[in-house]
Amino acid sequence: MTIQTPAKEKTHTFRLLAPGVVWMILFLVAPIMMIVYVSFWTQTTFSINSTLTLDSWKNFFGSEAYVGALWTTVRLWLIVLALTFLIGYPAALYVGLLVKSKTVSTVLLVLCVIPFWTSFLIRVLAWRPMLGKEGAINILLQKAGIIDSPIEVLLFSELSVIIGMTQIYVVFMVGPIAFMLGRIDRNIIEAARDLGAGFGRIFWKIILPLSLPGVVVGAIFVSVMVLGEFATSGALSGRKVNLLGNIIVTQVGSLKWAMASVVGVILTILLGIVVAGFLRIVDLKREL
């Protein structure tokens, strides 16, 4: 129920909003502006001063390691995004559309969410005894006689980072897709079937398009989290995989604030492009 907004109502709205808005401007917008600003500061070995310079930017693009981290980040993001979609969609299809009973569907969703009540870092760590040289997978494969000697690339490699990230973030893809699939009117599918459409056709023409907003929301979630990652790569790659996030951490660790800020700005731009790109596919305001 919306009521008109004469002066009194306006001050009321203003008072309710002011604390939150001020908080976000001071502690979210200002810090991000700060990153942009500091990326142009002058960095010396032990300190930093606000003389503006492009040095850090030149350093970034002049260094193979840094630019390499950018491409590693993009590559890992694309791989994890594709995997979460490919692995998550069939699960969402079952949970959101094929399960007739509301209870079963809720139980399955809760089952997917429960791991989130365990510390994120312990979830990452749990992959070590799973993937290690003497880990569960290698032991199982050896016992089954599929392999003779343990696969070593399973842990402390790009592969382990991809596996870990996919497991942690796939639920963010399943949730929104299952939600959108749950909203599809079953009668449409029945009608299409009555008209003689096979499942493949129904999937491509009806189910997939109608679940697209869920895919986009899930993709935005996964992208934002994967692009800002550093803990999973730190814990599972044995420092072999360096993402933009890892560079920020190490630079801050050695008080190289200007370089950390440059990487921060690049990460922000990358995120902006990705999210804006996804939002162009689907007009979320209209769909939700």
Among 96, 132, 175, 214, binds other proteins (CB under 8 A): 132
Calculate Rg over the CA atoms of the chain. Answer: 24
- Answer for which of 23, 75, 283, 284 binds other proteins (CB under 8 A) is 23
Q: Which of 63, 120, 152, 269 binds other proteins (CB under 8 A)?
A: 120
Beta-carbon contacts of 112 under 8 Å, excluding residues fewer than 6 positions away, are 95, 171, 174, 175
User: How is residue 219 written in tokens?
Assistant: 């993709």
In the shown chain, the binding pattern of residues 37 to 76 toward other proteins, with x for contact by CB under 8 A and - for none, equals: -x---------x----------------------------
| Least distance (Å) between residue 67 CB and other proteins | 19
Among 10, 58, 205, 240, binds other proteins (CB under 8 A): 10
Give the C-alpha separation, 99 to 224, whole Å. Answer: 30
The verdict on 130 binding other proteins (CB under 8 A) reads yes
281 near other proteins, rule: CB under 8 A: no
Cα separations (Å) of 126 from 110, 115, 163, 173, 229?
A: 20, 12, 12, 21, 17
Q: At 31, list the tokens.
A: 């810090």
Q: Tell me, by CB under 8 A, how many residues bind other proteins.
A: 90
Per CB under 8 A, 240 contacts other proteins: no
Give whichever of 34 and 147 is closer to other proteins, judged by the CB atom: 34
Under 8 Å between Cβ of 95 and 105: yes
